[in-house]
Amino acid sequence: MKNKSTSDIKSILNVWGGVASCLGLVFTLIVAVIGLVRTDANPQAMSVICVLAVSCAFLGVLGARSLSAQFEIFQKYGLSFKKIKRLKKELSEKEQELKIKEHQKEKMAQIFHNFNHEYRKIVVTIHSDIAAQSYGYLADRRKSLKMFFIFALSNIKELFDTLTEDDCAVTLKLIENADVFDKDVYPDLIEFFEKEEDIDKDFIIGDECLQDGKLKGPKEFLLKATPIISTFLRDPITYTQRNKIDNIWPAFPYYKNAAFYYILSKDHPQSAYSCNDLKKSAALKEYWCGRNEWENHYNASLVTPIRYVPCDIGDGVFERLKSWMTNDSGSSVIGFICIDNMKGNLESQLAIDTLAAFGDSCYHLFNSYNRLVMLSKEEQSSASQGEKEEASSAT
């Protein structure tokens, strides 16, 4: 704003300077003509006037040539004073946009730093427990895990609000019936179906679980055959508005939402799902959602899976943690991070890669915590077995 004011002042001074110079030239020529006409004029004064007149005439010729050159440039490049003014305004706007973009980059970098700072803290704590074989703080670690994810979703929301210039909603969804989420691991976080009659067969069970219109097998098979998606956490800002649907629709099969279907599909798995105009996509039958009135809440979506690519690291950890689902790309999916808003700007590679980075971190954190829980269970089992053997030998 300060630079713009200074530029305006300089422009005004240049205009008035040019006008003053022209007036000075005119007055000097008038005085010179009057002096030449008058017979009683002082010769010395007339000499000075004549020199000034010649100088002004010379400057006038230079000015005329300069103006002529300027007009030739204007004509050559199609410029006019009005167009130059418009271009200066556009340049000022572009400079302002660049400043905003620079501020956005700084803010996004700060958010990444904040996220990784807290992420490092909780991962180091969990791995310290594993290294020390200290399993007495498991309840505290579970609480810290949930608090971290609330913190993470808040930061992810702020980052994507900045990136998309819109109000985004962030959700962490998990596949309830993935083996990795043993009910003994997350007894207070993950809700499981306890009874077969709890299953709405028309709602939960897909065609792949039917044979001649009848269910192929018992509940355990059906839950394995159809991925069940549920909301684990929502960002605190949009929680109140969006949590109502979680109470109405606490769990649903993956194929009820196009984003999860495309990512989990074994026929054509995708590493992410992104769309800036879901209403248009829905009209083309390329997007669908089982919930009603979804278009009142969002029109754009970006979903990245929380997954890993199985590999042999020698101690069987991946085999113990491997989820029920492995698609054609060889990766296992245990959940999703979902972003949605109204305006879009979610299809850029920057947005997709940014959310994927958060997804990778979430998997590593689940992996670390699950390993801590499993080692704790193994120790408890070993201690229980030792006590039984000791009691048996004592008798």
Instruction: Pick from 141-150, 263-272, 322-331, 380-389 the range whose average pLDDT is largest.
Output: 141-150
Percent of the chain with pLDDT over 70: 61
Packing angle, helices 81-132 and 349-394, rounded to 10? 10
Distance (Å, whole) CA 322 – CA 181: 10
Pairwise CA distance, residues 318 & 341, whole Å: 35
- pLDDT above 90 covers a percentage of the chain that reads 29
pLDDT computed for residue 195 by the predictor? 35
Highest average pLDDT, of 46-50, 84-88, 135-139, 390-394, comes from: 135-139
Higher-pLDDT residue of 380 and 42 is 380
pLDDT at residue 292 in the model: 79
Distance of CA 194 to the CA centre of its chain: 37
Distance, in Å, from the CA atom of 185 to the CA atom of 373, rounded to the nearest integer, reads 6
| Residue 293 predicted with pLDDT over 70 | yes
Shortest CA distance to 269 belongs to which of 337, 332, 191? 332
Q: What is the pLDDT of residues 260-286, one digit of tens each?
A: 988 887 666 678 999 999 999 999 999
Residue 131, burial from CB neighbour count under 10 angstroms (0-12, 13-18, 19+): exposed
pLDDT of residue 256: 87
Q: Is the pLDDT of residue 335 over 60?
A: yes
List all residues 6 or more positions away from 226 whose beta carbon is below 8 Å from its beta carbon. 204, 205, 206, 208, 209, 253, 254
Q: In 163-207, which ranges are E strands? A: 169-175
Element (H, E) at 339: strand 332-341
Q: How far is CA 193 from the centre of its chain?
A: 34
| Pairing of β 210-211 and β 332-341 | unpaired
Name residues whose C-beta falls within 8 Å of residue 270's C-beta, 6 or more positions apart in sequence.
Answer: 262, 263
pLDDT band at 39 (very low <50, low <70, confident <90, very high): low
Cβ neighbours for 234, distance < 8 A, ≥ 6 positions apart: 153, 169, 170, 171, 172, 242, 243, 246
Average pLDDT of 245-269?
Answer: 82
Determine the straight-line distance between the first and last CA of the chain, rounded to whole angstroms.
Answer: 90
**More confidently predicted of 24 and 282:** 282
Q: Which residue has the tokens 């248009």?
A: 280
| pLDDT, averaged across the chain | 75
Lowest mean pLDDT among 74-78, 109-113, 318-322: 318-322
Q: How many CB atoms lie within 10 A of CB 306?
A: 25
Specify whether the CB–CB gap between 247 and 174 falls below 8 A.
no
Q: What is the pLDDT of residues 46-70, one digit of tens each?
A: 677 677 667 766 766 776 676 676 6
Q: Distance (Å, rounded) from C-alpha 196 to C-alpha 109?
A: 48
For 134-188, what is each residue's pLDDT tens digit? 888 888 988 899 899 999 999 999 999 999 999 999 999 988 765 544 444 333 3
- A 10 A CB-CB count for 123 gives 18
- pLDDT for position 30: 72
Rounded Cα distance, 153 and 159, in Å: 10
Q: What is the pLDDT of residue 209?
A: 41
- Which CA distances in Å does 269 have to 89, 183, 196, 258, 363? 48, 28, 30, 12, 19
Does this model's pTM top 0.85? My answer is no
User: Whole-angstrom Cα distance, residue 248 to residue 309?
Assistant: 34
Q: Are 264 and 257 in contact (CB under 8 A)?
A: no
